[in-house]
Amino acid sequence: MNASSRGLDLDRIVAVLGEASVALEILGENPFKVRAYAGAARALDALDADLDTLIAEKRLTDIKGIGKGLAEKIVDLRRDGADPEIDLLMRRVPSGIFEMLAIPGFGPKKAKAVWEKLGVTTVGELEYACNENRLIELPGFGEKTQEKILVGIRALARYAGRRLRARAADEAARLLAFVESHPSVVRAAVAGSFRRGLETVKDIDLVASSADPTAVMAAFVKADGVEEVIGAGSTKASVRLASGLQADLRVVGDDEFPHTLHHFTGSKAHNIELRSYAKKKGFALNEYALTRGDETIRVADERELYATLGLAYIPPELREGHGEIAVAARGGRPWSDLIAPADITGIFHCHTVASDGKNTLEEMAAACRDRGWAYLGVSDHSRAASYAGGLSIDELARQGEEADRVMERFPGLTIYKGIESDILPDGSLDYPDDVLDKLDFVIASVHSGFVADEKKMTDRIVTAVKNPFTTMLGHLTGRLLLTREGYPVNVPKIIEACAEHRVAIELNANPHRLDLDWRHLRAAVDAGVVIAVNPDAHRIAGLDHVAEGVMAARKGGLAPRHVLNAWAPAAVAQWLKGKR
Ligand code: DGT
Ligand code: CA
Ligand code: ZN
């Protein structure tokens, strides 16, 4: 028999049978069937006869381990490239599950457990679940396994396309320090989407000035962590780092530096708009220089570049081509008032060992004090979140007493007693009113019962916003960056409801979330909604995510006055009281 052009070759057939066996195991099907598929895959893999001959002579069943049913499937795969029964089977298992199996030490049994017990169906969700300590509770797992899985996931992520900005930060800093340390380098900076504070980045762009670019290039391609040199010319080098990230370095003369830095900071949309604006003003702007007629205009830095063009300085975070040039040209808001990490006066949304956090309330309190913060809003999971150790009414009351004790030990630190309440399917909160009434604040979040119906989801959230006990709305869309789209919701409608009912909106600062997206923040604050930059910390280190959140807030153009936890502590206290 001659296979049609759609038919699979032997290797692919082996792979399909192997995957089918895994799918059967994950679905909990008959173990004999699981083994039959795996056995057939192995037998074909070891085949030394010609497959097409065996098929033509109907001798497939002569192979040990291949029965009549499987022989028919192999014929289908060889002839049509597919088999109906295997297709049906594969459709029952989310494709992300198979990607998980690439994690070392993570087999079908573990995949089955996390899918069934935690609803995890992608590598990204699995990573998130590990970070939230969800795996240690599962039978057959433990702290060590969880840690191993995390290491495995990082290894997998090495060659994926984009990555979280936070994941590139260490390497960006290290490479910048390396370039800056070169004796001939005058100035150097990280550019690109990283500098603009975008939530994900494709690569690391670096720009440097030097009188000896060749020497800088030669050093750069030999830097620690460089695994492969993709290209190296006289002014540009591209390398692949051991982490899988690509890094590009451009080296120019120091006169050109502000222009080159500006160009490679982008964004492309901002660059294109700025060039056409410059042209209208009689200038010509490119990546090396600003000129007017025959005259080359030297600028010391980017500030001078914008000033020369008659524009207010536009910080990198705002250079997205979202109308910022028009604002700067109108002499509109100068962005020197953008929020910075030092403006943060305290934090809300912090978990402890009482639910699924790693540290005690006391440890979290000490960490907040160490960071110079005046208050900590503790909000463990509510009782419906049984998978996350949600608090019973009694446990919540005990945490309140614990908070009082801890506060005595940390004078100057206020602990606001709160809860991260699940928004139940009907939009109600997870405790009776008299329990909620005793709390200082309530974060209402959707954690389960995601539905694809935008209207239903929006109504559910708006119902929670209308609840007089809701103080703020947690991670509004439920997205996980690079992993899972948020559930469909009508964000403008929710913003409107929050404005009307004086509910703050969280900017969840976890680098996987950064939810609400910065692209919506402007509309929220323009409607009068207050934003809370919340770390959603599950351990002490998680508190520092607040810096990522502040970066996203800057991209949204927010000033401290727009951000609840950048207000003076007394104003925060008053706002919370005003809600009640
Ligand atoms: P990424 O890498 O996808 O996270 O985002 P970027 O913005 O870092 O993009 P990248 O690395 O491709 O290029 C860096 C900057 O170079 C970009 O922000 C603006 C500038 N650039 C790149 N291509 C063009 C272009 O075709 N026209 C203009 N005007 N600028 C460009
Ligand atoms: Ca880039
Ligand atoms: Zn949380």
- Each residue's pLDDT tens digit, 223-250: 998 989 999 988 899 999 988 899 999 9
pLDDT of residue 452: 77
Residue 312 alpha carbon to ligand 2 centre in Å: 25
Residue 510 alpha carbon to ligand 1 centre in Å: 26
User: Out of 1.20.1070.10, 3.40.50.300, 3.20.20.140, 3.30.160.270, which CATH number does the structure's domain 341-579 have?
Assistant: 3.20.20.140
Q: Where are the beta strands (DSSP E) in 293-423?
A: 295-297, 346-350, 375-381, 414-422
Q: Which residues have C-beta within 8 Å of that of residue 516, sequence separation ≥ 6?
A: 475, 476, 477, 491, 505, 506, 507, 508, 524, 531
Q: Which two tokens stand for residue 117?
A: 């017990």
- Each residue's pLDDT tens digit, 344-386: 999 999 999 999 999 999 999 999 999 999 999 999 999 999 8
For 338-345, what is the mean pLDDT? Answer: 98
Residue 171 alpha carbon to ligand 2 centre in Å: 14
pLDDT of residue 162: 87
**Alpha carbon distance 64, 42 (integer Å):** 10
pLDDT of residue 207: 98
Contact present, 118 and 129 (Cβ < 8 Å): yes
CATH homologous superfamily for 10-156?
DNA polymerase beta, N-terminal domain-like (1.10.150.110)
| pLDDT score of 1 more than 50 | no
| pLDDT score of 158 more than 70 | no
Tokens 């002569």 correspond to 62
Q: Which residues have C-beta within 8 Å of that of residue 541, sequence separation ≥ 6?
A: none
Residue 186 belongs to what H/E stretch? strand 185-190
For 479-493, what is the mean pLDDT? Answer: 90
Residue 154 alpha carbon to ligand 2 centre in Å: 21
User: Out of 3.40.47.10, 1.10.8.60, 3.30.210.10, 3.40.50.970, which CATH number does the structure's domain 276-336 have?
Assistant: 3.30.210.10
Position in ligand 1 atom list of the atom nearest CA 266: 18
pLDDT of residue 8: 87
Q: CATH 1.10.150.110 region(s) of the chain?
A: 10-156
**Alpha carbon distance 438, 575 (integer Å):** 16
For 483-493, what is the mean pLDDT? Answer: 90
**Alpha carbon distance 443, 418 (integer Å):** 8
Ligand 1 neighbours, Cβ below 6 Å, are 192-193, 198, 201-203, 205, 263-264, 266-268, 271-272
Q: Which two tokens stand for residue 150?
A: 């995390």
**Alpha carbon distance 217, 182 (integer Å):** 10
Q: Does residue 297 sit in helix, strand or coil?
A: strand
pLDDT of residue 580: 66
pLDDT of residue 83: 94
Position in ligand 1 atom list of the atom nearest CA 248: 11
For 60-73, what is the mean pLDDT? Answer: 93
| pLDDT score of 4 more than 80 | no
pLDDT of residue 377: 98
Average pLDDT of the chain is: 94
pTM: 0.81
| pLDDT score of 498 more than 90 | yes
Q: Whose CA is nearest to atom 5 of ligand 1?
A: 193
**Which CATH architecture does the domain made up of 161-254 adopt?**
2-Layer Sandwich (3.30)
pLDDT of residue 579: 77
- Each residue's pLDDT tens digit, 101-144: 888 789 899 999 999 999 999 999 999 999 999 999 898 899 99
Tokens 């969800």 correspond to 134
| pLDDT score of 410 more than 90 | yes
Q: Could you tell me the CA-to-CA distances from 2 to 9, 11, 79, 230 in Å, in that order? A: 12, 17, 8, 42
Q: Whose CA is nearest to atom 22 of ligand 1?
A: 268
Query: Of 90, 152, 110, 105, whose CA–CA distance to 127 is shortest?
Result: 152
For 533-547, what is the mean pLDDT? Answer: 97
Q: CATH 3.30.210.10 region(s) of the chain?
A: 276-336
Question: Confidence class of residue 11 from pLDDT cuts 50, 70 and 90?
Answer: confident
Q: CATH 3.20.20.140 region(s) of the chain?
A: 341-579
DSSP category for residue 348: E
pLDDT of residue 48: 80
- Each residue's pLDDT tens digit, 301-322: 999 999 999 999 999 999 999 9
**Alpha carbon distance 143, 433 (integer Å):** 37
DSSP category for residue 537: B
What does the DSSP assignment read for 113-178? HHHHHH---SHHHHHHHHHTT-GGGSTT--HHHHHHHHHHHHHHHTTSSSEEHHHHHHHHHHHHHH
Q: Which two tokens stand for residue 64?
A: 């040990």
Residue 277 alpha carbon to ligand 3 centre in Å: 45
Q: CATH 3.30.460.10 region(s) of the chain?
A: 161-254
Q: Which ligand is nearest to the CA of 319?
A: 1
Residue 229 alpha carbon to ligand 1 centre in Å: 20
Which residue from 271, 318, 482 has its CB within 8 A of the most atoms of ligand 1, so it is best to mutate? 271
**Alpha carbon distance 250, 262 (integer Å):** 12
Question: Confidence class of residue 95 from pLDDT cuts 50, 70 and 90?
Answer: confident
pLDDT of residue 386: 86
Question: Confidence class of residue 47 from pLDDT cuts 50, 70 and 90?
Answer: confident
